[in-house]
Amino acid sequence: MKWRVVIATISLARNKKEEKIILNTLTELNKLGLPIILTDESASAFPIFYKIKGLKNIRAFKANGLDAKIKRSLSEASRIGQFIFYTESDKLDFVSKHAPNFIQKFLKSPQGVWLSARSEKSFDRYPKYQKIVEKFLWQSSWALFDGKTMDISYGPRIFPSSLVKYIKSIRGKIGFGWQAYLLTVGFRLGLPITEVVFDVNPPADIQKGRRAILYRMWQAEDHLKGFAQGLKIKL
């Protein structure tokens, strides 16, 4: 018998600060009492895989690269859960303050895709260029999804594990674009999409200056690839 909700996440610690944030996030997730599927970056200089022995709810794996980690975590989670709660492992503020409420609200009406969204006040705290890029992605969702504008890029979300089978149809690497891809597939299948708004703080970001801008450009490119492939595949 499958769990109602299983948690899936991935990790990549690039320094000691990120390692601490990820471990704290995983500790908070562990308190939810749900199975957690974690896939750690096998090439990381700060591996998380070996530092979670005291967190009894975590099943850990290793893979190389963003796409491989996503596929492993989602695949393993879909084996044991009806729905998957996915969050990035640096979302400590959201996980510690809002994840329990998000899951509880979902369980009162467990259907479709649920997105956690940032309040207007929260979004104002983010860097200017990041806001420009993300609003563009929101407008893309408005154009594609019959006028429904959504905060598709924040991250934490709950979706049916049945959607994971469509991951096999992804061509090439789309990185963060898997989120836009599965959202597009879910929309085409007629699944309801629910947003829950939270007041959250931006996660710590080691990217600065032009590196931060290029990083956001890369994320936006991934999401656009996800939209495009999600619209083209045969269902």
φ and ψ at residue 102, rounded to 5 degrees? -60, -45
Nearest to 101 by CA among 89, 112, 114, 88: 114
Phi-psi region of 124 (alpha: psi -120 to 50; beta: other; left: phi over 0): alpha
Question: Residue 216 — very low, low, confident or very high, per pLDDT cuts 50/70/90?
Answer: confident
Q: Does domain 3-232 have CATH number 3.30.565.10?
A: no
Report whether pLDDT(207) > 60. no
Residue 223 is predicted with a pLDDT of: 95
pLDDT in tens, 67-100: 999 999 999 999 999 999 999 999 999 999 999 9
Q: What is the mean pLDDT of residues 161-166?
A: 98
Q: Measured at the alpha carbon of residue 215, what is the angle toward residues 168 and 39, in degrees to the nearest 5?
A: 45
What was the pLDDT predicted at 205? 61
5-26 per-position pLDDT tens digit:
999 999 999 899 999 999 999 9
Full-prediction pTM beyond 0.85?
yes
What is the C-alpha to C-alpha distance for residues 29 and 58, in angstroms, rounded to an integer?
A: 9
Q: Please state the rounded mean pLDDT for residues 113-125.
A: 94
* Whether pLDDT at 206 is above 70: no
Q: Is the pLDDT of residue 146 over 90?
A: no
Cβ neighbors of 34 (< 8 A, separation 6 or more) are 3, 5, 6, 7, 57, 85, 103
Confidence of residue 208 (pLDDT cuts 50, 70, 90): low
Domains of the chain, residue spans: 3-232
CA atoms within 13 A on the CB side of 73: 31
Mean pLDDT of 193-213: 80
Whether 207 and 123 have beta carbons less than 8 Å apart is answered as no
